Amino acid sequence: MRKTRVLSIALEPPAEATDRLERNRNAIIEALELAEGYDPDFVCFPEYCLQYASDAPFEIAEPIPGPTTDLVGEYADRIGTAVLVPMIEEDAGSIYNATAFVGADGSVRGAYRKQRPTVSELEGGVIPGESLGLFDTSHGRIGTITCFDVNFDRIGTSLARERPKIVFFPSLFPGGDLLTAWARHYGTYVVKCTPTAAATISPTGAFVGENDDYNIGLTSDLESGGTARLSFAEINTDFEQYHLDFNTEALRDIQRTYPGETEVHKASEEAWVILKSISPKVSIEDMESEFGLENRWAYLDRSIAECEASLEEHGS
């Protein structure tokens, strides 16, 4: 079992501000001060949170590392949490829609650049990123996408093949059923964070944390102006996704061998299952090795290879 405490903060800064960067940066720090009481492992903010509500966001881009990640890093180190800080990034004269990943020690571990900016962003000068947003942590591998990225299956498949346990989704639009579909189809937690809504969705599609205008959750008016809505969830990231083909007996044997130490969640009729370890003594990785389980992507790759071998054998 690997308990992981996730805090998604829907941060809506003040509509009016004479110094947009300073006001938004202050709002981020105020929200991190609220976060301290949750003892989170991860905190996520919405897309554009540093420049949000600016009339000219691309003109006030900031480098990564830079003033905001330096300040956030001080709080991350003090609280002991990793922080995802989305912003418009300037790098050598180029502009990106980026999410900085600040580690729990306060250092910048890297940044994800949105691979599929909208047409409006491209017209404003934003350049697409080329790499997946993946970071290895003590709570397992995590991934991140940004807003419009969620519409592209290639991004989802490429990310899922790296088997992240959590995919963070900072965004300006709600995402809707696409997020539930991502969580179930790719077998990962999805953490949503927009300026007005925050939620965590489990690999079975269940919402295990949610805060927006229609839900009861902590909402705080900030001294710097604006509002923070906090969505907290403690999740178990010691899990894996499997197909029932060739794994059914092994899954039964695991439950016989480790009674009360695992959970099996079946996602509707798709034949994918989620196996979780709730034991401090044995991990999913240990069970895979002991019982010869074949994870989802290993099975799909084997199926592809066998199909290709069959075509070659028959001269196609």
Under a CB-based contact definition with an 8 Å cutoff, are residues 188 and 164 in contact? Answer: yes
What is the rounded CA–CA span in Å between residue 169 and residue 179?
9
Task: Kindly state the average pLDDT of the residues 251-273.
Answer: 90
Residue with tokens 């199926």, as numbered in its chain:
303
The order of strands in the sheet holding 108-113 is 108-113, 94-102, 82-91, 42-44, 3-12, 227-236, 219-221
What is the rounded CA–CA span in Å between residue 75 and residue 81?
8
Does 131 fall in a domain? yes
**Residue 69 confidence (pLDDT):** 98
Considering 206, 236, 266, which residue would you say is the last residue of a domain? Answer: 236
Does 185 fall in a domain? yes
**Residue 266 confidence (pLDDT):** 78
Model confidence at 91: pLDDT above 90: yes
Indicate whether 196 and 258 sit together in one domain: no
Indicate whether 200 and 273 sit together in one domain: no
Does 46 fall in a domain? yes
Considering 217, 236, 255, which residue would you say is the last residue of a domain? Answer: 236
SS3 state of residue 219: strand
Indicate whether 287 and 299 sit together in one domain: yes
Does 165 fall in a domain? yes
CATH code for the domain in which residue 13 is found:
3.60.110.10
Does 230 fall in a domain? yes
Task: Kindly state the average pLDDT of the residues 231-252.
Answer: 96
Does 176 fall in a domain? yes
**Residue 267 confidence (pLDDT):** 60
Percent of the chain with pLDDT over 90: 91
Indicate whether 59 and 206 sit together in one domain: yes
Considering 236, 253, 272, which residue would you say is the last residue of a domain? Answer: 236
Indicate whether 209 and 284 sit together in one domain: no
What is the rounded CA–CA span in Å between residue 249 and residue 257?
12
The rounded mean pLDDT for the chain is: 95
For 170-226, write each residue's pLDDT tens digit. Answer: 999 999 999 999 999 999 999 999 999 999 999 999 999 899 888 888 999 999 888
**Residue 224 confidence (pLDDT):** 85
Indicate whether 251 and 122 sit together in one domain: no
Structural domains counted in the chain = 2
Confidence class of residue 5 from pLDDT cuts 50, 70 and 90?
very high
For 43-68, write each residue's pLDDT tens digit. Answer: 999 999 999 999 899 999 999 999 99
Indicate whether 228 and 303 sit together in one domain: no
Model confidence at 98: pLDDT above 90: yes
Indicate whether 181 and 266 sit together in one domain: no
Does 98 fall in a domain? yes
Indicate whether 305 and 157 sit together in one domain: no
Does 316 fall in a domain? no
* DSSP-assigned states of every residue in 84-123: EEEEEEEETTEEEEEEEEE-TTS-EEEEEE-SS--HHHHH
Give the structural domain span for 28: 3-236
Confidence class of residue 268 from pLDDT cuts 50, 70 and 90?
low
**What is the Cα gyration radius of the chain?**
21
Indicate whether 173 and 195 sit together in one domain: yes
Indicate whether 275 and 133 sit together in one domain: no
Q: Which of 151, 188, 196 has the alpha carbon at shortest distance from 8? A: 196
Model confidence at 32: pLDDT above 90: yes
Model confidence at 316: pLDDT above 70: no
Model confidence at 108: pLDDT above 70: yes
For 213-231, write each residue's pLDDT tens digit. Answer: 888 889 999 998 889 999 9
Indicate whether 192 and 48 sit together in one domain: yes
Confidence class of residue 270 from pLDDT cuts 50, 70 and 90?
confident
